[in-house]
């Protein structure tokens, strides 16, 4: 993907967040039984100000990127590998979150660690299993046994 | 003045608190030594551990980690020519040539002593300044607090790496996120999208873990390819003789001076100060050509500056609640997670915390010196580890830090989403600390802004009715207008130099 396109995608994402927040504030009605406002600022003043300015600055940033854009070479293989690893990490993070509290912590950690080691290029099964299981046991000992966190 | 400092030591000099500082410093040196793992990451890793402790011990542990990473960063810079932290990049210039000359032990000795002396000088200066600034700060009203918060945000957006436009975008995103939840005055739900979990606002731990933990790991995944580097020879540490240090006192003093002043400016961090110190020492040297070939002054100055920054960053953090860098932003977040409001409120309500942290900074530097001198071998062995084995553990500890605070997976989910957003922003050079700072300072600014208006019957002139307020307002306007002018100048130059520009 070109440099300009990447810049526009990220700026567009931030602008979308700002626009969604502004739309949400617009849809929020002031409760009938609310306090009398003692100051000139209502509940929506600052979110609207921040959201509006964020949207405006995103547009300026996009305009600036278009103004200064230059063609860039395709992503090198190393960058593609890092992108794959980032996607794999994000997928595993979501998996971890969805299973947190539903599965024993030590088992979840062991699975997560082993899969991430594999995604990060480690290929020796015995080494992966040893460090994954050992690491999960240590994490369980620290957080659950020693610190008493309810995980 | 001194009774407050003694009170701080009284709280810190207990076996329990000293053990916390020691453990934090040991972890900090380790994390700093590993290229790709920085000071904020060490503190994110510590976050889940601190839930089991009360406020001061938890923050002291983080303080130890903050100090430790400063020294750890120099190990890999000197031995592997890969700075462990961005601030240690300058140490590579003269540290690594010394290794090539077979003087690795001496180079590590200079780095350890330079870091310890610079850090202690920074701590001493901070100890003398903080009571004075705190004395003035406690007289501030809500309008002052709101303006100081705003000025801090603008300064951070302006001084962090990248363009100010991107800094401001990050800051506004943080401020917008800080308004999520029930309105503090009339409890109207704002941007909660019907989710009860958002009624209490965005969890600080989710923002910290997402933007500083997950986003940084995702952005550093390409470094796994670099693999681990092996050091073949056996490396120890040789402390420089006292006479040699006395001869080189100027390099240490200049480093400490820059570190303290640069650190005190919110948002600048240590990177700028190390290069400034190095350039000044080189310029004033009788043999400037010897720099870059293994001159010990080229290690002492940046390392002294790097650690003196810790004293400098404490000035705005402990007195005004403004972080000097990413690490202090996390410390502010940790204060909030432990139910304390950073800044002037903290000085008024918990002076023992302010002066305890200050005393902890000095103790952490002593521990850093001892650990660096006595336990360097295991650190060098550990810094040769492959990052592929370390990142997964960092991710788990970061997520546990987020989950353990509420025992609810929702903040963890938010942290992952923030991590993805932070990673995308980092790829395009949006400075992440501005977002976190916006999340932390947003509620403080909002509450004080509305309180100031309420107290003045909606008179907006309340923000310009005293000289300090006028000066802060003028400072904000000056920084913004200067940055706009510079940005336009940069754009014009860029479009002139770039033949493929399509206006």
The CA-CA-CA angle for residues A119, A122, A128, to 5°, reads 100
Q: Are A50 and B175 in contact (CB under 8 A)?
A: yes
Taking an 8 Å cut-off on Cβ atoms, the answer to whether A116 and B389 are in contact is: no
Q: Which of A27-41, A135-149, B105-119 has the lowest mean pLDDT?
A: A27-41
Q: Provide the 3-class DSSP secondary structure of residue A122.
A: coil
Length of chain B: 503
List, in order, residues 6 or more apart from B123 with CB less than 8 Å away: B310, B311, B358, B361, B362, B365
Q: Does the pLDDT at position B236 exceed 60?
A: yes
Q: What is the mean pLDDT of residues B327-340?
A: 84
B178 against B348, higher pLDDT:
B178
Q: Which of B353, B282, B307 is nearest to B10 (CA)?
A: B353
Give the integer Cα–Cα distance in Å for B403 and B411. 7
Count of C-beta atoms within a 10 Å radius of residue B174? 26
Three-state SS sequence of B323-347: CCCHHHHHHHHHHHHCCCCCCHHHH
The confidence band for B253, taking pLDDT boundaries of 50, 70 and 90, is very high
Q: Quote the strand ranges of A32-136, DSSP E.
A: none
B-chain residues within 8 Å CB-CB of A79?
222
**How far A123 CA lies from chain B's nearest CA (Å)?**
11
B186, B221, B450 member nearest A89 (Cβ): B221
**Residue B161 predicted with pLDDT over 70:** no
CB contact under 8 A, B185 and A54: no
Distance from CA of B500 to the nearest CA of A (A): 6
Nearest C-alpha neighbor of B309 from the set B364, B260, B381, B255: B260
Q: Quick one: pLDDT at residue B14?
A: 92
Using alpha carbons, select from B122, B124, B96, B123 the residue that is nearest to residue B110.
Answer: B96
Q: How far from each other are the two terminal CA atoms of chain A, in whole angstroms? A: 41
What ranges make up the beta strands (E) of B117-267?
A: 181-182, 189-190
Q: Is the pLDDT of residue B389 over 50?
A: yes
Q: What is the pLDDT of residues B351-369, one digit of tens each?
A: 888 899 999 999 999 999 9
Spatial separation of the C-alpha atoms in residues B369 and A89, rounded to whole Å: 37
Question: How many whole angstroms separate alpha carbon B8 and alpha carbon B360?
Answer: 8
Burial class of B495 by CB neighbour count within 10 A (0 to 12, 13 to 18, 19+): middle
* 8 Å CB contact of B49 and A43: no
Is 50 exceeded by the pLDDT of residue B438?
A: yes
Distances (CA, A) of A95 to A107, A128, B409, B413: 13, 19, 12, 10
For B410-444, give the DSSP string. HHHHHHHHHHHHHHHHHHTT--HHHHHHHHHHHHH
- In whole angstroms, give the CA distance from residue B223 to residue B207: 24
What is the mean pLDDT of the segment spanning B72-100?
81
Q: Judge contact between B339 and B214, C-beta under 8 A.
A: no
Task: Calculate mean pLDDT across residues B93-116.
Answer: 89
pLDDT at residue B405 greater than cutoff 50 = yes
- Summarize the confidence of residues B245-256 as an average pLDDT: 91
* Confidence band for A57, pLDDT divided at 50, 70 and 90: very high
Please state the ipTM of this predicted complex.
0.90
Statement: residue A32 has pLDDT above 60: no
Task: Report how far residue B33's alpha carbon sits from residue B425's, in angstroms, rounded to the nearest whole number.
Answer: 26
pLDDT over 60 (residue A70):
no
Q: Rounded to 5 degrees, what are φ and ψ at B189? A: -70, 130
Residue B357 exposed, middle or buried by CB count within 10 Å (0-12, 13-18, 19+): buried
What is the pLDDT confidence band of residue B268, given thresholds at 50, 70 and 90?
Answer: low
Distance from CA of B232 to the nearest CA of A (A): 23
User: Per-residue pLDDT averaged across B462-478, rounded?
Assistant: 89
The winner for highest mean pLDDT among A131-140, B69-78, B91-100, B325-334 is A131-140
CA distance B65 to B217: 18
Biggest CA pair distance of chain B: 72
Checking if the pLDDT of B36 tops 80, the result is: no
How big is chain A by its Cα radius of gyration, in Å?
Answer: 24
Angstrom distances, CA of residue B69 to CA of A41, B183, B230, B329: 43, 39, 21, 16
Task: Return the residue in A8, A36, A47, A114 with the most chain B beta carbons within 10 A, the one to mutate for interface testing.
Answer: A47
The answer to whether the Cβ–Cβ distance between B48 and A147 falls below 8 Å is yes
CA distance A51 to chain B (A): 6
- DSSP for residue A31: P
DSSP B243-273: HHHHHTHHHHHHHHHHHHHHHHSTTT-HHHH
Residue A18 has pLDDT above 90, yes or no: yes
Chain B residues near residue A82 by CB distance under 8 angstroms:
221-222, 224-225
Of A146 and A12, the structure prediction assigns the larger pLDDT to A12
Work out the average pLDDT over B114-125. Answer: 93
φ/ψ region of B183 (left if φ > 0, alpha if ψ in -120 to 50, else beta) reads beta
Q: How far apart are alpha carbons B23 and B26 in whole angstroms?
A: 5
Report residue B47's pLDDT band, with 50, 70 and 90 as the boundaries.
Answer: confident
Which of these ranges, A19-33, B181-195, B474-488, has the smallest mean pLDDT?
A: A19-33
Lowest mean per-residue pLDDT among A120-129, B102-111, B139-148 = B139-148
What is the residue extent of each domain of chain A?
3-67, 77-146
- For residues B415 and B206, the answer to whether their CB atoms sit within 8 Å is yes
Query: Which chain B residue has its CA at the smallest distance from A91's CA?
Result: B416
Measured CA angle at B306 (ends B303, B311), to 5 deg = 125
Angle separating helix axes B104-137 and B297-320, nearest 10 degrees: 20
pLDDT category of residue B501 using cuts at 50, 70 and 90 = very low
Q: Given this model, what pLDDT does residue B176 score?
A: 94
Say which of A10, A60, A143 has its CB closest to residue B425: A10
Q: Residues B208, B211, B217, B218: is their CA dihedral positive or negative?
A: positive
Q: Is A78 exposed, middle or buried (0-12, 13-18, 19+ CB in 10 A)?
A: exposed
Q: Which residues of A touch B395 (CB under 8 A)?
A: 89, 93, 112, 116
Look up tokens 């890969």; give the residue.
B82
Q: Which of A37-51, A109-123, B52-66 has the lowest mean pLDDT?
A: A37-51
CB atoms within 10 A of CB A60: 15
Facing B221 at nearest CB: one of A14, A85, A97: A85
Write the residue in A7, A135, A148 that is nearest to B393 by C-beta.
Answer: A135
CA distance B274 to B278: 6
Predicted pLDDT at A31: 59
Q: What is the mean pLDDT of residues B81-88?
A: 72
Distance of alpha carbon A82 from alpha carbon A34, whole angstroms: 51
- Rounded to 5 degrees, what are φ and ψ at B241? -65, 155
Helix (H, G, I), strand (E, B) or coil at B503: coil
B400, A151: Cβ pair inside 8 Å? yes
Contacts of A77 in chain B (CB under 8 A): none
Task: Of B5-14, B169-178, B320-329, give the range with the top mean pLDDT.
Answer: B169-178
Are residues B176 and A85, on separate chains, in Cβ contact within 8 Å? no
Residue B299 has pLDDT above 90, yes or no: yes
Query: Which residue from B189, B391, B498 is facing A70, i.e. has the nearest CB?
Result: B498
Q: Do B176 and A71 touch (CB under 8 A)?
A: no
**Which percentage of chain B shows pLDDT scores above 70?**
93
Burial (CB < 10 A; 0-12, 13-18, 19+), residue B293, is middle
% of residues, chain B, pLDDT over 90: 23
Chain A and chain B share a number of CB contacts under 8 A equal to: 201
Query: What residues in B contact A35, CB-CB < 8 Å?
Result: 185-186
What is the chain B residue with the closest CA to A149?
B404
Mean pLDDT of B406-415: 87
Tokens of B348: 């008024």
Q: Flag whether pLDDT at B71 surpasses 80.
A: yes
pLDDT higher than 80, residue B109: yes
Tally Cβ neighbours within 10 Å of residue A12: 12
pLDDT score recorded for residue B229: 57
**Contact by Cβ (8 Å): B57, B97:** no
Computed over every residue of chain B, the mean pLDDT equals: 84
Per-residue pLDDT band for A78 (boundaries 50, 70, 90) equals: low
pLDDT beyond 50 at B260: yes
Concatenate the DSSP letters of all residues of B144-210 into one string: HHHHHHHHHHHHHHHHSSS-HHHHHHHHHHHHHHHT-EE-TTT--EES-TT-GGGTT-S-HHHHHII
Q: What is the C-alpha separation between B228 and B303, in angstroms, rounded? A: 24
Q: What's the CA gap between B444 and B145, in Å, rounded? A: 8
Nearest chain B Cα to A85, which residue?
A: B221
Give yes or no for residue B1 having a pLDDT over 80: no
Beta-carbon separation of B225 and A142 below 8 A: no
Q: Identify the weakest region by mean pLDDT among A70-74, B40-44, B135-139, B273-277.
A: A70-74
Q: Provide the pairing of β-strand B181-182 with B189-190.
A: antiparallel
- Between A19 and B456, the higher pLDDT residue: A19
> Per-residue pLDDT averaged across B28-56, rounded?
80
- Nearest CA to B315 out of B130, B145, B66 is that of B130
């Amino acid at each position: 993907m070109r440099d300009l396109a990447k810049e526009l995608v990220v700026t567009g994402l931030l602008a979308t967040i700002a626009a969604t927040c502004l739309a949400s504030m617009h849809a929020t009605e002031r409760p009938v039984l609310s306090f009398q406002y003692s100051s000139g600022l209502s509940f929506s003043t600052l979110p609207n100000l921040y959201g509006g300015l964020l949207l405006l600055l995103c547009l300026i940033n996009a305009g600036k990127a278009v103004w200064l854009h230059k063609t860039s070479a395709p992503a090198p293989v190393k960058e593609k590998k890092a992108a794959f690893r980032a996607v794999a990490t994000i997928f595993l993070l979501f998996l971890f979150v969805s299973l947190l509290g539903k599965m024993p912590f030590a088992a979840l950690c062991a699975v997560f660690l082993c899969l991430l080691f594999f995604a990060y290029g480690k290929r020796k099964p015995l080494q992966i299993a040893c460090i994954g299981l050992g690491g999960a046991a240590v994490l369980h000992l620290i957080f659950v046994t020693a610190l008493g966190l309810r995980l | 003045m001194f009774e407050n400092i003694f009170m701080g030591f009284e709280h810190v000099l207990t076996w329990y608190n000293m053990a916390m500082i020691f453990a934090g410093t040991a972890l900090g040196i380790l994390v700093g030594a590993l290229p790709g793992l920085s000071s904020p990451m060490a503190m994110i890793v510590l976050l889940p551990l601190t839930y089991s402790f009360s406020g001061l011990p938890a923050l002291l542990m983080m303080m130890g980690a903050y100090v430790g990473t400063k020294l750890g960063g120099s190990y890999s810079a000197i031995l592997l020519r890969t700075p462990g932290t961005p601030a240690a990049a300058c140490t590579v210039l003269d540290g690594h040539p010394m290794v090539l000359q077979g003087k690795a032990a001496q180079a590590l000795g200079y780095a350890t002593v330079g870091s310890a002396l610079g850090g202690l000088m920074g701590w001493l200066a901070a100890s003398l300044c903080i009571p004075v600034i705190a004395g003035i700060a406690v007289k501030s009203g809500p309008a002052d607090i709101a303006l100081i918060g705003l000025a801090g945000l603008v300064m951070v957006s302006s001084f962090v790496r990248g363009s100010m436009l991107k800094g401001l975008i990050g800051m506004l995103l943080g401020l917008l996120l800080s308004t999520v939840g029930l309105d503090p005055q009339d409890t109207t739900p704002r941007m909660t999208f019907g989710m009860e979990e958002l009624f209490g606002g965005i969890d600080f731990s989710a923002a910290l873990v997402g933007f500083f933990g997950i986003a940084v790991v995702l952005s550093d995944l390409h470094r796994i390819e670099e693999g681990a580097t092996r050091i073949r020879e056996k490396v120890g540490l040789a402390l420089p003789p006292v006479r040699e240090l006395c001869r080189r006192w100027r390099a240490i003093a200049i480093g400490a001076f820059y570190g303290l002043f640069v650190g005190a400016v919110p948002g600048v961090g240590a990177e700028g100060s190390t290069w400034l110190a190095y350039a000044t020492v080189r310029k004033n040297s009788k043999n400037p050509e010897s720099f870059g070939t293994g001159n010990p002054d080229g290690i002492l100055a940046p390392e002294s500056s790097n650690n003196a920054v810790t004293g400098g960053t404490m000035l705005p953090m402990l007195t005004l609640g403004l972080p000097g860098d990413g690490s202090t932003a996390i410390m502010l977040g940790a204060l909030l997670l432990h139910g304390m409001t950073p800044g002037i409120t903290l000085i008024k309500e918990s002076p023992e915390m302010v002066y305890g942290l200050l005393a902890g900074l000095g103790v952490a530097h002593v521990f850093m010196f001892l650990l660096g001198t006595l336990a360097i071998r295991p650190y060098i062995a550990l810094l040769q580890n492959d990052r592929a084995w370390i990142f997964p553990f960092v991710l788990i500890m970061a997520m546990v830090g987020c989950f353990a605070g509420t025992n609810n997976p929702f903040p963890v989910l938010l942290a992952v989403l923030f991590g993805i957003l932070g990673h995308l922003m980092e790829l395009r050079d949006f400075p992440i600390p501005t977002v976190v700072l916006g999340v932390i300072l947003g509620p403080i600014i909002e509450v004080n802004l509305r309180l100031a208006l309420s107290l003045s019957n909606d008179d907006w002139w309340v923000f310009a009715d005293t000289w300090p307020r006028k000066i802060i307002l003028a400072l904000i306007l000056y920084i913004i207008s200067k940055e706009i002018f510079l940005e336009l100048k940069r754009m014009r130059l860029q479009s002139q130099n770039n033949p493929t520009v399509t206006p």
